[in-house]
Structure 1
């Protein structure tokens, strides 16, 4: 990542397009990557860029330094919470993918690499993504109850969906700290690797996804999400129309040609 210029006190999100990938780095290591409003707005801009740029197929969210993020920088966010004011402008992609009015939902996949302290917003960002690679040194905590507030970035929804209500409430109501092995057991993360390998493994997975047919990847992701959120019947109702649309694409034709010619397909997203 290009981090030659000093990190500003309010932090930043550093973006790098690498082939079909958009790497998005959380950069405020001196404050354990605690999120300020400026950082959150920049992250929303990065997610919007990922969705809007046809050359980009997969996002990779990661962090500078030893920790993913300690969560929100509460002193800088408290005024927004008290006023009920949105931090990111209308029309952009919501990094938490909650489907709130005025925000767009993401269509393209995101892989997240987490390490060290991954608290509150960090857990919610990774659960809002699609695939999570965790370092073995991760320390997780959804500790809003210790601060007199509630997790409103999706943790109450997605922790229960991934691990069951009892497991979710164990950590949501105590605000305790748990490790990578527990996160893997509860399906909050998909892989646990050594800290030195976490970004490399996330990039490997992202590259593998980016090599597939982009239209099919987006359709598959959205259908699986619909199943989780609206149920199997809602997802099944889309099968026929979606398959017909994909089958007439240039990528589907290339998929058949590559199968016949016994070679790797070269997809264009058309």
Structure 2
């Protein structure tokens, strides 16, 4: 049997219409090496480019999601002002273009620190195991969270709730994460991946063009304000209504059956 690479790997598995993206460096609590950062960006880019993949599932092997970044390997990236994505590839943190158009459901468990929280917040839906321990602890290392937490924690939880943890580096549990809107469901430990796959399959069963349009309109409202999103509603809806999937949606309703969407 081949020995696991000491710098870990990102495991990619096609499962029907889902692309499972697994963080695999279990002996190091899934701490991200430079190799894994590169492979993660490649995996997210594969999700975007693969026409057979309708939804991604981000998860981790072993008892922990990730302890964060291996700073000694990635210090040169930060010193050079580099973002943890590859030029021209989809950003796993969903901050800088090119942004993904396909949805991602994340499953987290155990330790979920620093970049792990930021990856989770970059997903669309998050399922957390009951044993999760979250920590945005950059201030304890003399740096700041710089891959989305300062934006998305405020967006989800409000200023005071976000600063309570961003400025102290204190840990918080799964129920707190649920209360603050950082995760959408908390399940029994060990059930998080199964539940994330269930939700991802429900998303993948919907009309892909409609799913993508929904994400893009919601994102536009956040980034450019409600008026910009409102301006897109009618023209985008008219375009969707001309699709084969919209016709299938009407037909399935009339015939009282499940729709079979093709993405056209």
TM above 0.5, yes or no, is yes
Please point out which of 119, 127, 138 is paired with 2:132: 138
Please point out which of 213, 216, 233 is paired with 1:219: 213
Which residue does 1:77 correspond to in 2? 74
Instruction: Report the count of equivalent residues.
Output: 264
Please point out which of 74, 89, 93 is paired with 1:92: 89
Asked if 1 retains the 8 angstrom alpha-carbon contact of 2:110 and 2:131, the reply is yes
Please point out which of 152, 166, 169 is paired with 1:175: 169
Asked if 1 retains the 8 angstrom alpha-carbon contact of 2:65 and 2:110, the reply is yes
Deviates more, 1:49-58 or 1:83-92: 83-92
Please point out which of 3, 7, 18 is paired with 1:10: 7
Counterpart Cα distance in 1 of 2:84 and 2:93: 13
Give secondary structure in 2 for the equivalent of 1:195. coil
Asked if 2 retains the 8 angstrom alpha-carbon contact of 1:37 and 1:87, the reply is no
1:1-270 matches, within 5 Å, as 5-86=2-83, 88-99=85-96, 103-270=97-264
Counterpart Cα distance in 2 of 1:220 and 1:86: 27
Counterpart Cα distance in 2 of 1:58 and 1:216: 13
Give secondary structure in 2 for the equivalent of 1:72. coil
Residues 31-70 of structure 1, C-alpha deviation per residue, up to 9 Å, x if partnerless?
0000111101111111111111111100000000000000
Deviates more, 1:73-82 or 1:174-183: 73-82
Q: CA 1:152/1:54 → structure 2, altered by over 3 Å: closer, same or farther?
A: same
Give secondary structure in 1 for the equivalent of 2:19. strand
Gaps of 5+ in 2: none
What's the offset of the Cα at 1:87? 5.0
What's the offset of the Cα at 1:86? 4.8
Asked if 2 retains the 8 angstrom alpha-carbon contact of 1:114 and 1:138, the reply is yes
What's the offset of the Cα at 1:85? 3.7
Asked if 1 retains the 8 angstrom alpha-carbon contact of 2:19 and 2:55, the reply is yes
Counterpart Cα distance in 2 of 1:5 and 1:231: 52
Counterpart Cα distance in 2 of 1:259 and 1:106: 30
Q: CA 1:87/1:138 → structure 2, altered by over 3 Å: closer, same or farther?
A: closer
Counterpart Cα distance in 2 of 1:64 and 1:252: 38
Asked if 2 retains the 8 angstrom alpha-carbon contact of 1:25 and 1:64, the reply is yes
TM-score by length of 2: 0.98
Deviates more, 1:108-117 or 1:32-41: 32-41
Asked if 2 retains the 8 angstrom alpha-carbon contact of 1:7 and 1:27, the reply is no
Counterpart Cα distance in 2 of 1:21 and 1:15: 10
